[in-house]
Amino acid sequence: MSTAVTVAIVGAKDQAKELGKKGTTSDVTLFNAVRDGHAVTLIEPTQFPEKFASLLFTLAMADRTVFLVDTIGREIAETAAVIDLFDTPVDMVLAAGVGESELRKAFKGTRLETAPAMALDYPKLRATIDSWTSGESPGPTMVRLDHAFPVKGVGAVALGVVRRGTLNAHEKLRLYPTDKLVEIRSLQVHDVDVKSAQSGERVGVAVKGVDADELSRGQVLAPEGTLRVGTELVVTLDKRCRYYKGDISEGLVGNLLVGLQFVPATVTAGKAPGPITVTTDRPVAFAPGDPAIFADLSAAPGPRVAGRLLLPSA
């Protein structure tokens, strides 16, 4: 079993630098810490709240979430509303001056009302994170890509996390949701060359059969036939954002997050809580029954997220 873990650090800004060494930076920033063979990747939503997707990507990439609260305001409230729609375990960390009882009252009715909480203490928080692992996820290989770039003499390189199964050098996989078949030329885990990577490990993958400009966040490496691809999705509402004021019904225009795919989408039929049809402007790849988050970027006031949907199971 892998001892790696990916942790979202959300809430208070610029906190992950106290827990790891800065690495890849884009709309999200990654920090790395390897201690006694335990590899931790920490992610911060660099461009949130201006870019809402930054928060969604951060939470979707993580095995666990640290919600660090230094004050109670609009950004913290929106972050809490989005955390409530993800199933990954969450721990609250409270800065000086933030009362736990006040916070739990503010988040009444969400899973943060009963989430574990601790006072901010970086050494203690580091030790806590070092006790976490991603857990095993057996089955066909699945790697979600989050960054890509060209490397001179190597070619296209993608970064991502093995979310299921084992990734092996030289195996051939499909690059979903495209039809392209690619070969894994070589692998690195935290800059160390390896022949295989387990579920939960963050990898750098040299990919043969595709150019770097054809790679993008949200694409998935998986064996042919193990994922579905579609643009017209009949979904059901799994959990509504308790603070969202609009209707999740025909005519709603927004964006759908499926894995790390964030695509424009429209509700073209139905009204929640009954089945609804969501049509995306380009194909998305998914496994039957996967969750998806519907974001309404025009929502005001209130959080820019409507709810969690379940994709078709058959």
314 pLDDT exceeds 80?
A: no
| Three-class secondary structure of residue 256 per DSSP | strand
pLDDT tens, residue by residue, 245-302: 999 999 999 999 999 999 999 999 999 999 999 999 999 999 999 999 999 999 877 8
Determine the topology of domain 228-310 in CATH: Elongation Factor Tu (Ef-tu); domain 3 (2.40.30)
Class of residue 260 by CB neighbours under 10 A (exposed 0-12, middle 13-18, buried 19+): buried
Q: Taking residues 60-78, what's their average pLDDT?
A: 94
Residue 279 pLDDT = 98
Residue 35 binned pLDDT confidence (cut-offs 50, 70, 90) = confident
Which residues of the chain form CATH 3.40.50.300?
5-130
Question: CB–CB of 132/38 below 8 Å?
Answer: no
Residue 66 binned pLDDT confidence (cut-offs 50, 70, 90) = very high
Residue 97 pLDDT = 87
Residue 312 pLDDT = 85
Q: Taking residues 26-42, what's their average pLDDT?
A: 93
Residue 313 pLDDT = 80
pLDDT tens, residue by residue, 236-247: 999 999 999 999
Instruction: Give, as one character, the DSSP assignment of residue 2.
Output: -
Residue 300 pLDDT = 77
Residue 292 pLDDT = 97
Question: CB–CB of 229/258 below 8 Å?
Answer: no
Q: Does residue 177 have a cis bond before it (omega within 30 degrees)?
A: yes
Residue 30 binned pLDDT confidence (cut-offs 50, 70, 90) = very high
Q: Taking residues 130-139, what's their average pLDDT?
A: 89
Q: Taking residues 194-202, what's their average pLDDT?
A: 95
Residue 37 binned pLDDT confidence (cut-offs 50, 70, 90) = confident
234 pLDDT exceeds 80?
A: yes
Which residues of the chain form CATH 2.40.30.10?
142-222, 228-310
User: Can you name the residues that pair with 31 across neighbouring β-strands?
Assistant: 22, 42
* pLDDT top residue among 48 and 73: 48
What is the distance between the alpha carbons of residues 53 and 152, in angstroms, rounded to a whole number?
Answer: 31
Determine the topology of domain 5-130 in CATH: Rossmann fold (3.40.50)
Residue 125 binned pLDDT confidence (cut-offs 50, 70, 90) = very high
Determine the topology of domain 142-222 in CATH: Elongation Factor Tu (Ef-tu); domain 3 (2.40.30)
Residue 6 binned pLDDT confidence (cut-offs 50, 70, 90) = very high
Residue 2 pLDDT = 66
